[in-house]
Amino acid sequence: MNHKLELRNVTKTFSTEEGEMMALEDINIEVKPNEFLCIIGPSGCGKTTLLRMIAGLDYPSSGEIILDGDRVSGPSPDRGMVFQEFSLFPWRTVIKNVTFGLEILEVDKHEQYRIAERYRELVGLKGFENRYPYELSGGMKQRVAIARALATDPAILLMDEPFGSVDAQTRNILQEELLEIWKRTKKTVLFVTHSVDEAVYLADRVAVMSARPGCLVKCLDNAIPRPRKRTSVEVNEFRENLLMLLSLERSKACI
Amino acid sequence: MRRPTKEEGLWLVPLIIVLLLWEFIAGYVIKDPLILPRFSAVIFSVYALREVLILDILVSLLHFCIGLALAFAVALPLAIAMGWFRSVFKAIDPIIEIIRPIPPLAWIPLAIIWIGLNHYAAGFIIFIGAFFPILIDSYTGFRDVPRVLVETGNVLGCIGNIKLIRYVALPYALPSVATGTRVGMGVGWMCVVAAEMFGVGNSGLGYRLFQKFYFLHQMDYVVAYMLILGLLALILDRVFRYFVEDKLFRWKKGIVK
């Protein structure tokens, strides 16, 4: 019973003009330390809302979210987040973006740069330290965002479709790099995606969600040994399983 | 292929044409310096007036600086409050929008009664002119901070209005503040003549132009001062752009240009 993160009966309702709308219904997930969990589901299933609630940017209508034994009640640097949109501070250089969280925590200047240097190296951004975000490609921007989220040494890394707006090739490279980072930092990662391929390639476990109301359909363990080959038989079988689950949910939603 | 080097001196050609046309029309068509003094006569006037001109420029710059500094000091905090807090905007905006269309010139009687006939009264008129552009561009900057940047700040521990304004909103809005200040400088400068017209002293570009030269019908002097007013505004704008926009906002390049 040693969970890093626990979601207990998390429910979220929004008030709309037609009355209460159930966005997420009774979500229960337990995440183990150092686990890589992917959350997958059709758009509108509330997977981003779920992640935002864990980040503390949104609040559950009922239920609780517990991280390391403490109830989440607001945003905090112990939950790092990487957004889908490009979220670098455009007025800060790459290195100053990475040190942002440390600056807020009032870490000593030299220490800030030492830490930033480490994460900059980890995400492979050599020679870009003093560039501004507008000079970077989409993939580079997300690398900086990952380094920035890791710099405050969070207990968990939350990623909301972070590679959604980069091209397919860069995406594959970023996925490999992310696994390497995950292996080296031993972080617990929660990764939201709508891409089946991405979930199969990255996750230890895949949580499948359905839409309207958003609820957890099933958690699938992904025991395929790493490094995974994107075209191997096991990967394809797992992908098949996932796709079937998702299309089943879709047909249910249509009825 | 267009080469930028070819465009470099391009502005000179129309300028010379306009000046030659001016000289020709004034000298050979109108032939009356009261209606339109010749360009060469105007240039000669600038030379003839050089001693009093320096003093007038300094006094006008003093009025301008008083007005601009005051406008900036009042507009910026108000812009932060209006841009960042929706309720402040809703509460104050109607008042702003009623006062804003009142021409700075209409404030002259109040300026005289409130402040008296001194440099500060002139500064006040310039303040009225410069204040609104600074305020409006600035609060737009604070209002338009993207949500994702605020939330990124939140998850990195930047929580609470003071920290968010300092670390996220202010740096994001600074280019808008600079744009507003630049526009405000332009409008403020246009108020210089009006601000000095009503006798706040016995020097200043506006004072000399209106109270002395115009009353004596020295139109070549009037036009000379008009040109000086234009030229100074151009210099002020260029200096501002060089030191503030080009140096401070290198990061903005990818976004606007």
Three-state SS string across chain B, please?
CCCHHHHCCCCHHHHHHHHHHHHHHHHHHHCCCCCCCCHHHHHHHHHHCHHHHHHHHHHHHHHHHHHHHHHHHHHHHHHHHHHHCHHHHHHHHHHHHHHCCCCHHHHHHHHHHHHCCCHHHHHHHHHHHHHHHHHHHHHHHHHCCCHHHHHHHHHCCCCCHHHHHHHHHHHHHHHHHHHHHHHHHHHHHHCHHHHHHCCCCCCCHHHHHHHHHHCCCCHHHHHHHHHHHHHHHHHHHHHHHHHHHHHHCHHHHHHHC
User: Where along chain A do its domains lie?
Assistant: 5-254
Those residues of chain A whose CB sits closer than 8 Å to some CB in chain B are: 55-57, 74-77, 79-81, 83, 85, 87, 89-92, 100-101, 103-105, 132-135, 148-149, 152
| Residue among A74, A80, A85 whose CB faces B148 most closely | A85
A80 neighbors A156 (Cβ within 8 angstroms): yes
Q: Is residue B253 scored above 70 in pLDDT? A: no
How high does pLDDT run on average in chain A?
91
ipTM of the complex: 0.91
Mean pLDDT score of chain B: 91
| Spatial contact of B181 and B72, defined as CB atoms under 8 Å apart | yes
Residue with tokens 């949580």: A207
Chosen for mutation from B152, B162, B163, B166 (greatest number of chain A CBs closer than 10 Å) is B152
Chain A residues inside the 8 Å CB shell of B159: 74-75
Q: Are strands A19-31 and A36-40 parallel, antiparallel or unpaired?
A: unpaired
Domain B63-250 belongs to what topology?
A: MetI-like fold (1.10.3720)
Give the C-alpha separation, B238 to B232, whole Å. Answer: 10
B116-175 pLDDT tens trace: 999 999 999 999 999 999 999 999 999 999 999 999 999 999 999 999 999 999 999 999
C-alpha distance from A251 to closest chain B C-alpha (Å): 34
End-to-end CA separation in angstroms for chain A = 39
Q: How many contacts (CB atoms, under 8 Å) link A and B?
A: 78
Residues on chain A touching B148 (C-beta within 8 angstroms): 83, 85, 87
Structure tokens at A93: 């250089």
Give the model confidence (pLDDT) of B179-221 as tens digits: 999 999 999 999 999 899 887 888 999 999 988 888 888 999 9
Does the distance separating the beta carbons of A132 and B254 come in below 8 Å?
yes
Calculate how close chain A gets to B187, using CA atoms only, in Å.
28
User: What pLDDT shows up at residue B257?
Assistant: 41
Fold of the domain spanning A5-254? Rossmann fold (3.40.50)
Contact A18, A72 (CB under 8 A): no
- Residue B208 Cα distances to A127, A131, B7, B116, angstroms: 59, 51, 38, 19
CB atoms B149 and A79 under 8 Å = no
The predicted-structure confidence for B24-63, as pLDDT tens digits, reads as follows 999 999 999 899 999 999 999 999 999 999 999 999 999 9
B154 to A57: CB separation less than 8 angstroms, yes or no:
yes
Measure CB to CB from residue A55 to each of B155, B168, B172 and give the nearest one: B155
Nearest CA in chain A to B153: A101
Nearest to B157 among A85, A101, A133 (CB): A101
Residues in CB range of A145: below 8 A, 6 or more apart: A82, A83, A86, A87, A88, A97, A162
Cα separation of A111 and A81, whole Å? 22
Is the minimum CB–CB distance between B6 and chain A shorter than 8 Å? Answer: no
Among A76, A104, A134, select the one facing B254 at the smallest CB separation: A134
B149 near B172, Cβ under 8 Å? Answer: yes
* pTM exceeds 0.90: no
- The distance of B139 to chain A (nearest Cα, Å) reads 18
Nearest-by-CA chain A residue for B173 = A91
Query: What is the residue extent of each domain of chain B?
Result: 63-250
Output the CA torsion sign for B45, B47, B50, B56: positive
